[in-house]
Structures are given as structure tokens and as C-alpha cells.
Structure 1
Amino acid sequence: MPRATKKSEETTEEQQPTNLIYEHIADYIVQVFIKEDVNAFTESTLMHELLAYKLKDIAKPLMLDTIASVASELKAKKQLDLKKKVGGITQVKKIAFRSDDQYNAFISLFFEAVEENPELVDFIKKEQDFENFMLYCINDYREIWEQFATGIVEDRLAIERQKGLHAYRSSKTDVLQEVPTYADFIAERIDDVKVQA
């Protein structure tokens, strides 16, 4: 059996935490789908796999765009009112996320983005200001994914209503197969997710 080289071991160790970040963010997004439509649960595994795979390419650039947008807002307003926007630090930390793993994944992605682009935040000098900035970014980023999921659910449920599937789903399996799956919607739309201006 061939021995792994040091470089491949480093790559594997480096990729593992990043992959976990995407897995937990995918968990968060799937839970939004299920919260909006309990029928999404049947597709949850497929949606999770698709999201985790696609997030590898778009999660960090989207976080960078979010950070840049919030930094621009902070420079213009001189202050971010976290309490007014989301109800304060506790709201962001505890209520928005179902697990510490999800919350920590969003924080890890934020720090990865900031470490690669420190110029985005080098104007923030105080630690408390930086924490508020981080939580504001995480909340905005979370909202982007929430809007992504809820928009898809609204569109899919509209199609189901048009086809008369909102009631008696089990007796209309043939018609249900004509409706795009949530995974279909995700695959079609995820590359277009961006920070709202």
C-alpha cells in the first residue's frame, strides 16, 4: 500500500475543517427548507449533499461580498445598530441557529474570509466593534441563505397549488413527479445567489 506524502496529509487535514464548515452551513439551509415546507424533509439528504458540494465554490466569495457590503455600510453610517437589526448579540448567537456547530461554521467562514482579505476590516480598531461587525455580517449572510430557501419554497408551493397538489399529495403521485424537486431548484439557482444591494 503506498504511503501518503506529507503534502497530501496536510491537504487532507486542511480540507477537513473547511468541508465541515460547508456541511454545517448546508444543514442550516436544509433546515430552513424544512421549516418552510415539511415535505422538503423527504429530499433533505439529497439537498444537503448538493448544497455542501456547491458551497465549496460559492460560500466564501459570498461571505467576502457580505463583509465588503457591511464594511461599506459601517464606513458610511459610522455605526451598525445590531440591536435594531436583529435584537442584539444573543439573537444572532442563539436564536437564529439550531446548533453551536452551525453558528461556529458561519463564524469560521467569516474568519477564513477576513484572514485572506484583512484590508476589509483593518479600519475597525476596537474588539467590541469587531465582534458587532462580525455578528452583523453573519446575520446578513444567514439572511441571504434564508431568502434563497424561502424563495424556492414559495415558487415550488405555487406550482403545487396550480396543479392541485396542496391537498391529497399521496393520491397524486403522477402529477407530483411533474413538479421540479427542491434539489432541481437549488441546482438551477444557487450559482446566482448574491448579496442584495
Structure 2
Amino acid sequence: MKADTSKYNNSHLDTAIYEHIADYIIHVLIKEDVNAFNESKLLSELLVYKLPSVVHELMYRTICAEAGKLKGGEDINLIKEIGGINTQKRLHFRSQDQYNSFVALFFDALEQHPGLLEKVDDEEKFEKFMIYCIHEFRQKLEGFAIEIVKEHSKLEQENRLYIHRRNSPENVDIPTYADFIAGRIDGLVE
């Protein structure tokens, strides 16, 4: 079953959510390769445009996977898995608004599919479930960004562009980070 993303395209609140999620992805790109900073404005615009078609489905699939684990009898141990709620916020998110955007996305997915909470029977378990789903979702976005940086860096290294940053050879055409993201972001939900 596919999550309905048609209702997420024009709301001002949703635009803010996408901007914070885009900021998270860009932060990971820059952390992995400082040269991505040059494209940060373009990447932000591209991601805000592209994310609505991807993130709702990705969050839905993440919640389904974690709900399936709960149905299978597994328990969520946040301390063991990710270091707890406060550790999650402090280590991975740049602001409370960024974290809240991930939470809002989680709740949007649950509003669309309330049956996913079948095995979540108390508030503490729900909170653990939410934090764990956000963690897994964040890991997928981070893995996506890191993979793009690896591939981009490999192309730069093969063409020795790191030596000729300012005066790059004219016959070498390396895709930008925006090109990589535009071509691969839909693959996040496949």
C-alpha cells in the first residue's frame, strides 16, 4: 500500500517541514564533503521541491518495518539501540525545529495509516516507537547523502578535479550534487 502524497504539495506548514529535512540532508552532505557548501542554496530548493514525493512514502515504509518488528514480538530498547531520546536529539539534529519536522512527518504517516499502531499499547511504548522510527528514517536519509558524496568524490578523484578546483579542465563534465540528488532521490523509496 502506497502512502498518499497528493495532499502534501502546497501547505505552508509542509514547506517548513521540507525545508528542515532538506537542511538535514545538506548538513550531512557538507559534513562529508565541504565542497558541497557551494551548492547548498540550489540543493535546498531542489530538495524542497523533490521531498514531498519521497519522504512521506519513506516514513510510511519505515514505520511499517518497525511495526512489523513489534508484531513479531521484538521490543524497542532505545538505550541499547540509539542511546535514548535526548542523545538522539542532541547528536543528530541541529535545532528543535529540525527534530520537530521529523516528528510531524511521523504523525502525518500515522494519520494516514492508524492501523500501524496495533501493537503499541501505552504512551511509553509509543514514544519509544516514534523515536526509533525517526532514527531509522534519519539513518536512511543520512545513508543516501553519504552514498552520493562517495560517488561524487570518486568521480572527482578519477578526473583529478581536486587538484584543479579553480581551473578545471573544460573537457571534464562531473555531475553536481544537485544532479546526483535529482537523479537518485526517487530511489529512496524503492
Q: What's the TM-score once normalised by structure 1's chain length?
A: 0.87
Partner of 2:189: 194
**Which whole-Å CA distance do the structure 2 matches of 1:49 and 1:38 have between them?**
19
**Which whole-Å CA distance do the structure 1 matches of 2:33 and 2:54 have between them?**
25
User: Is there any run of 5+ residues in structure 2 with no aligned partner, and where?
Assistant: 1-6
- Preserved contact between residue 57 and residue 189 of structure 2 (Cα < 8 Å): no
Partner of 1:124: 120
**Which whole-Å CA distance do the structure 2 matches of 1:87 and 1:135 have between them?**
11
Q: 1:32 aligns with which of 4, 22, 28?
A: 28
User: Is there any run of 5+ residues in structure 1 with no aligned partner, and where?
Assistant: 1-10
**Which whole-Å CA distance do the structure 2 matches of 1:173 and 1:19 have between them?**
39
Q: How does 1:44-123 map to 2 (within 5 A)?
A: 44-123=40-119
Overall identity of the aligned pairs, in %: 46
Q: 1:135 aligns with which of 126, 131, 138?
A: 131
| CA deviations over 1:86-141 (Å, ceiling 9, x no partner) | 11111212211011111000000001111111100132111010000000000000
**Which whole-Å CA distance do the structure 2 matches of 1:77 and 1:89 have between them?**
22
**Which whole-Å CA distance do the structure 2 matches of 1:63 and 1:187 have between them?**
19
Partner of 1:19: 15
How far the C-alpha of 1:150 sits from its partner, in A, is 0.3
Q: 2:151 aligns with which of 147, 155, 165?
A: 155
Matched letter for residue 56 of structure 1: P
* RMSD over equivalenced CA pairs, Å: 1.6
- Preserved contact between residue 70 and residue 119 of structure 2 (Cα < 8 Å): no
How far the C-alpha of 1:173 sits from its partner, in A, is 5.5
1:181 maps onto 2:171 in alignment:
no
| CA deviations over 1:165-197 (Å, ceiling 9, x no partner) | 22341232536x6110000000110011037xx
Matched letter for residue 114 of structure 1: L
